[in-house]
Amino acid sequence: GENVEQHPSTLSVQEGDSAVIKCTYSDSASNYFPWYKQELGKRPQLIIDIRSNVGEKKDQRIAVTLNKTAKHFSLHITETQPEDSAVYFCAASRFSGGYNKLIFGAGTRLAVHP
């Protein structure tokens, strides 16, 4: 079945450094790739997403890149701040008609140290 692998499982950076999280997916028909942030004790929330017809998308300090040939996509956070500390999940889905099954990676725990 569909599978999404995410690395690293934990990431520790100093405030101001950049952080990169990488994911690979197995279903070549996947066409939607969101990233979610889950703060401690809270529900996951969407921070950025990208569709298969776009190679890169940026929103202030966060950016996502997609390589469809290699079936991998990455989250880049620049100028990290302590409030970026959270668990980040990548996901992939293939939406077609009424079908949109969202499969998540195992998550990356990011710690940003002041």
Based on the shown chain and the rule CB under 8 A, indicate whether residue 40 belongs to the binding site for another protein. no
**What is the nearest approach in angstroms of another protein to the Cβ of residue 100?**
5
**18 burial level (CB within 10 Å; 0-12, 13-18, 19+):** exposed
Based on the shown chain and the rule CB under 8 A, indicate whether residue 27 belongs to the binding site for another protein. no
Based on the shown chain and the rule CB under 8 A, indicate whether residue 104 belongs to the binding site for another protein. yes
Q: Which of 10, 4, 1, 5 is nearest to 108 (CA)?
A: 10
Which of the stretches 12-20, 54-62, 77-85, 89-97 binds another protein when contact is defined by CB under 8 A?
Answer: 89-97
CA angle 102, 106, 112 (to 5 degrees): 115
Neighbours of 60 (CB within 10 A): 9
Based on the shown chain and the rule CB under 8 A, indicate whether residue 51 belongs to the binding site for another protein. yes
**What is the nearest approach in angstroms of another protein to the Cβ of residue 114?**
25
Based on the shown chain and the rule CB under 8 A, indicate whether residue 49 belongs to the binding site for another protein. yes
Based on the shown chain and the rule CB under 8 A, indicate whether residue 53 belongs to the binding site for another protein. no
**23 burial level (CB within 10 Å; 0-12, 13-18, 19+):** buried
* Under 8 Å between Cβ of 108 and 88: yes
Which residues in this chain contact another protein in the complex, by CB under 8 A? 1, 6, 9, 31-32, 34, 43-46, 49, 51, 89, 93, 95, 97-107
